Amino acid sequence: MNVAVLSAGTWGISLAALLHGQGHAVRVWEFAQAVVDELVRTRRHPKLAEFEVPAALPISTDLRATLTEPEPAEVVVCAVPAAHVRATCKRVLAEGYAGQPFVILSVMSGTISQPSSCGVAVTCFVKFLSTK
The CA dihedral of 41, 89, 84, 50, to the nearest 10 degrees, is: -30
The per-residue pLDDT for 131 is: 41
- Predicted TM-score (pTM) of this structure: 0.84
Q: Give pLDDT tens digits for 66-75.
A: 999 999 999 9
pLDDT value at residue 1? 94
Of 78 and 120, more confident? 78
Residues 99-116: tens digit of each pLDDT:
888 887 765 544 454 555
Are 111 and 81 spatial neighbours (Cβ–Cβ below 8 Å)? no
| Distance separating alpha carbons of residues 19 and 91, to the nearest angstrom | 24
**Confidence band for 128, pLDDT divided at 50, 70 and 90:** very low
What's the confidence (pLDDT) of residue 103?
83
What span, in angstroms and rounded, lies between the C-alpha atoms of 76 and 91?
13
Please provide the distance, in angstroms rounded to a whole number, between the alpha carbons at the two ends of the chain: 35
